[in-house]
Amino acid sequence: MSRDEGEALLKRSVEIACEARDTYYERCAEHHLSEGIKNDKILKKRPILVAASVGSYGAYLADGSEYDGNYGDAVTLSTLKEFHRRRVQVLAEAGPDLIAFETIPNKLEAQAFAELLEEDGINIPAWFAFNSKDGVNVVSGDSVIECASIAESCEKAIAVGINCTPPRFIRGLILSIQKVTTKPILIYPNSGETYDPDRKQWVQSTGVSDEDFVSYVSKWREYGASLIGGCCRTTPNTIKAIYKTLKSPADSPSQL
């Protein structure tokens, strides 16, 4: 695949997401016109943001290093900035509402993302989401507080949080992040299953059920999470259940 073909696919990924949003809005309108017909689908027109996902350098290496953050001494801040620079530019120009820097495994890569946003004049906001395997540090061993502080100091970052992390660690991570940020905290854990980087597959029966996952949601919100979703191995049913859990008369729009 050529560079031009790769960039075209990046742009197309954003276009597909925007088209899906348009389709949803069309179905909302159709549902409204057919008022009175029973439908158990959640069809309520609400603001939907399209986020262009930018994963870590480790995912490109395809050796599982996005789950340990160990890139070796040869990988510097400059290395990471040059690796990500063009991809971030292409995605930002494709029309998303924001950039989602996610599964960030170390503070070096967080710093690279923060500097790219400033240096390249990216004109849309971003969020920073880190992954952790112990509830205290990101997977590299860097302090989650230090990592969140980098996002807090980045003017273009509008939220900071955690993704692709077992649900059992989320409470402590929220409380840690709260110490260093005034930005909204976003949480989208995985199912809790263990990933085997050697076999490149998830280990069955090591995670939590949808019901158990959703049972955490109200507590995460109480601890301070503003945006809640699901990452690897969660399902559309998980997301639907999260929505239903958060949707109550007492909930404000910013919590949904």
For residue 43, what are the CA distances in angstroms to 25, 70, 202, 246?
9, 43, 33, 16
Q: What is the dihedral of CA 135, 153, 256, 55, to 10 degrees?
A: -70
Instruction: Name the one residue in this structure whose structure tokens are 């290395």.
Output: 79
For residue 140, what are the CA distances in angstroms to 4, 8, 28?
33, 33, 44
Say if residues 75 and 56 touch (Cβ distance below 8 Å): no
Query: Is residue 18 part of an annotated ligand binding site?
Result: no
* Amino acid type, 172: G
Backbone phi, psi, residue 231, to 5°: -115, -140
Q: Which two tokens stand for residue 60?
A: 């490109």
- DSSP 3-state of 227: strand
Query: Is residue 28 part of an annotated ligand binding site?
Result: no
Point out the annotated binding site.
164, 231-232
Which residues define the annotated binding site for Zn(2+)? 164, 231-232
